[in-house]
Amino acid sequence: MMILVALLSSISLYSEIARRRELRQESVTDLLEKIHLISRELVVQMGDFVWSLNDKHGNLKQLKQRIEDYAAITLTKHEIFFQIEMPEELNAEKLNPKQLKNIFFIFKEALNNSLKYAQCQHFRIVISSQNQMLQIDINDDGSGFDIDVPKLGMGGSGLKNMKARALSLEGTCEINSQINQGTNIRIVIPMNSNYHYW
């Protein structure tokens, strides 16, 4: 919530500065660009906030759409090609709120790590299932890293958070990466978890 207030305050501040510049017939192009970028971030943060409040069950089709929306907003400006693959028969597969929340935030963490560290050109997600287990593979073709000597941030709270979220769903999170060969994150969780709440 605090970040939403901060973003709205920034928009208000830059708008007031732009108004004063216009009165002096000065250029406001740089301020308009800042307002544009902050507005995009506000849309993302609002979406996350609403998503986190959701206490209803959903399905994989809805989760896929949420991932696509976030990726479109986040990756377009970086000119990174995004692809998500999922068999149509999984569209109606039900997920409880805890599953929806944690899977989405694992994806978000992985994507943000790729943006910060990987310098990738492609970001790909493959969702599949076998024996009542949901498998999500998150891949980028970036710089990769040494698993034993991870980069600052990539080896810190980010990776730990993803593993903790998967564990909270009675699942696993495997991370494989090699220098100059990209990174793969594989999440495997039960599709019929007994957990129904956050």
Q: Where are the domains of the chain?
A: 1-53, 57-198
Amino acid 195: pLDDT: 44
Cα 87 to its chain centre, rounded Å, is: 21
Amino acid 43: pLDDT: 72
Token pair in block for residue 194? 């007994």
| 75-98 confidence digits (pLDDT tens) | 877 889 999 999 999 999 998 988
User: Whole-prediction pTM value?
Assistant: 0.72
Amino acid 151: pLDDT: 53
| 39-52 confidence digits (pLDDT tens) | 877 776 676 666 66
Look at residue 187 and tell me whether its pLDDT is greater than 90. yes
> Which backbone phi and psi does 137 adopt, to 5 degrees?
-105, 125
| 12-36 confidence digits (pLDDT tens) | 887 888 888 888 888 988 888 888 7
Give, in words, the CATH class of 57-198.
Answer: alpha beta
Share of the chain above pLDDT 90, in %: 37
Token pair in block for residue 90? 């999984």
| 156-170 confidence digits (pLDDT tens) | 577 888 999 999 999
Average pLDDT, rounded, for the chain:
83
Look at residue 196 and tell me whether its pLDDT is greater than 50. no
Look at residue 5 and tell me whether its pLDDT is greater than 50. yes
